[in-house]
Amino acid sequence: MVSLITGWINHFKHKLTILKRRRFIEGLVQRGLTLGKNVTIMPTAWIDYDYCYLVSIGDNCSLSKGVKIFAHDATVFKFTDGYTRINKVVIKENCFLGENCIILPGVTIGPNVLVAAGSVVNKDIAPNSCVAGNPARFYSKFDDFIASHKVTITEQPCFEFSTLNAGMTDELRKKVQDSVQGGDAYVHGYTGRFPWNFN
């Protein structure tokens, strides 16, 4: 009985988190954030609240957990009698921002850009690029990167997300663990979009 109650409490907390997040993002849009269609903003992604009207995110973009988008830079505040630098951030369509990456003010990204997890973007990122690092640097063309993965998917082990999510058995866990011993494996079917998809 206790586990049933705990389950319901956790379910309610999850639903409340979703509601709070949606309201927060809707509040940013009301304050001037430009948000395209089919944009995914994961929990803990942060968009500069005070200057969100300087931020534009295009269609089909994804912001992973921990992404931070700054439209202001207060590094000179203390030394300039209270001045803070502000600038726009433009993320064009079809961009993916990896977990915990930081986007600094005054940059334009994309379209068709992958920013690797943990990257710091302090300059414009050209269309059709993949970048990584601090500061973020080019490592591949977007189209080449996607094409190479499409080939690799046909050669490497693949698992359905619904199968993995339905119940992980010891046998299935071992199969997945063994599959990555010689390289990558892939999981198909997880979009990561619901319930963090906006517009």
Residues in the chain: 199
**pTM reported for the whole predicted model:** 0.83
Task: Please give the pLDDT value at position 137.
Answer: 93
Residues 19 and 54 in one domain: no
CA distances from 67 to 36, 64, 90, 104, 113 (A): 17, 6, 15, 11, 15
Residues 38 and 124 in one domain: yes
CB 67 within 8 A of CB 55: no
* Whole-number Å distance between alpha carbons of 110 and 125: 6
Residues 125 and 41 in one domain: yes
Domain of 187 in residue numbering reads as 156-199
How do the pLDDT tens digits run along the chain, 199 residues long?
677 788 788 778 877 887 888 899 999 999 999 999 999 998 899 999 999 999 999 999 999 999 999 999 988 888 888 889 999 999 999 999 999 999 999 999 999 999 999 999 999 999 999 999 999 999 999 999 889 988 888 888 888 888 877 777 888 888 888 888 888 888 888 655 555 677 6
Let me know if residue 147 belongs to a domain. no
- Here the CATH number for the domain that contains residue 100 is 2.160.10.10
Let me know if residue 125 belongs to a domain. yes
Residues 182 and 124 in one domain: no
Residues 124 and 43 in one domain: yes
Let me know if residue 62 belongs to a domain. yes
Last residue of a domain, one of 141, 167, 182: 141
Structure tokens at 102: 């930081």
Amino acid symbol at 57: I
Let me know if residue 151 belongs to a domain. no
Looking at the annotation, which residues are catalytic?
Answer: 72
Task: Please give the pLDDT value at position 83.
Answer: 85
Task: Please give the pLDDT value at position 106.
Answer: 96
Let me know if residue 59 belongs to a domain. yes
Q: How many domains does the chain have?
A: 3
